[in-house]
């Protein structure tokens, strides 16, 4: 960022496209070939086999990134330009939805367990409450409150490097849950003294999730 006192830029910070391109050079040609504006027959299975997608949105207050998951196929390919995502029960913060009603731009990152490539979609979303559409996404007799209808602007796959480096799908990369604070412990630490019982929350959560997952 520019130095407010001197007006000069820090030499250790990239702050222009020209500097960036000088450092990284031009894109590898094949990285551009794979980007298209419709869901091809090769890209469609990456959507239909994915049980997990990350939804990125932008709004006046800033950015949001939200995980969405269900059995594979929960993101429906309606046609070559459209995918649909049910909005399942959550905590009612609805950060992503608040953003979408004010700025429809979204990005999706699809992941498939055991597969190194990921799929990215950039597009625009609408929030539909059409009854028949919501009913078509019912799970365990429960309907989503709404369905995100995403129009695809750009779609492309990401190579395996990031997942290979992270060993994300390797059993050996897993760590014991005990190495991290529990949800209850985090909530208790952020609450006023005596207002939250971490042990009770953690003990009851598995049963709570069974009742509220849909």
Domain ranges of the chain: 29-166, 175-212
Q: Bigger pLDDT: 40 or 27? A: 40
* pLDDT: which is higher, 160 or 9: 160
- The dihedral region occupied by 107, where left means phi > 0, alpha psi between -120 and 50, and beta the remainder, is beta
> How do residues 119-129 score in pLDDT, each as one tens digit?
999 999 999 99
Model pTM score: 0.91
The overall average pLDDT reported for the chain is: 94
pLDDT score for 86: 98
Q: For residue 66, what are the CA distances in angstroms to 94, 129, 198, 203? A: 10, 20, 25, 26
- d(CA 53, CA 120) in angstroms, rounded, equals 9
Of the candidates 126, 123, 84, the one whose C-alpha atom is nearest the C-alpha of residue 107 is: 123
The confidence score (pLDDT) of residue 7 equals: 52
Return the CATH architecture of domain 29-166. Roll (2.30)
Q: DSSP string of 157-168?
A: EE-SHHHHHHTT
- In whole angstroms, what is the distance from residue 23 CA to residue 17 CA? 10
Q: Judge whether residue 140 has pLDDT over 50.
A: yes
**Phi and psi (nearest 5°) for 136?**
-70, -15
Q: Any idea which of 10-24, 37-51, 163-177 has the lowest mean pLDDT?
A: 10-24
Q: What is the pLDDT of residues 69-84, one digit of tens each?
A: 999 999 999 999 999 9
CB atoms closer than 10 angstroms to residue 38: 13
8 A C-beta contact, residue 97 and residue 146: yes
In angstroms, the Cα distances linking 179 to 93, 171, 176, 204 are 28, 16, 6, 20
pLDDT at 29: 87
Cα→Cα distances 21→12, 15, 29, 62, 125, Å: 15, 11, 15, 27, 32
Place of tokens 């959550």: 90
Q: Are 55 and 46 in contact (CB under 8 A)?
A: no
The bridge status of strand 52-59 relative to strand 62-69 is: antiparallel
């Amino acid at each position: 960022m520019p130095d407010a006192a001197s007006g000069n830029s820090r030499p250790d910070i990239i702050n222009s496209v020209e500097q960036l391109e000088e450092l990284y050079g031009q894109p590898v040609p094949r990285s551009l070939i794979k980007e298209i504006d419709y869901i091809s027959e090769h890209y469609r299975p990456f959507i239909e086999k994915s049980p997990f997608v990350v939804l990125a949105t932008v709004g006046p207050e800033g950015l949001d990134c939200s995980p969405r998951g269900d059995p594979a196929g929960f993101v429906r390919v309606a046609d070559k330009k459209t995918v649909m995502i049910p909005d399942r029960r959550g905590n009612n913060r609805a950060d992503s939805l608040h953003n979408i009603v004010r700025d429809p731009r979204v990005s999706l990152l699809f992941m498939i367990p055991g597969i190194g490539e990921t799929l990215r979609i950039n597009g625009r979303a609408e929030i539909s409450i059409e009854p028949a559409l919501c009913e078509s996404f019912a799970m365990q007799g429960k309907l989503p409150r709404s369905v995100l209808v995403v129009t695809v602007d750009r779609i492309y796959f990401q190579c395996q490097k990031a997942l290979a480096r992270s060993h994300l799908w390797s059993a050996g990369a897993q760590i014991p849950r005990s190495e991290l604070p529990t949800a209850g412990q985090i909530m208790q630490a952020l609450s006023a003294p005596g207002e939250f019982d971490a042990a009770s929350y953690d003990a009851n959560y598995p049963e709570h999730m069974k009742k509220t997952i849909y």
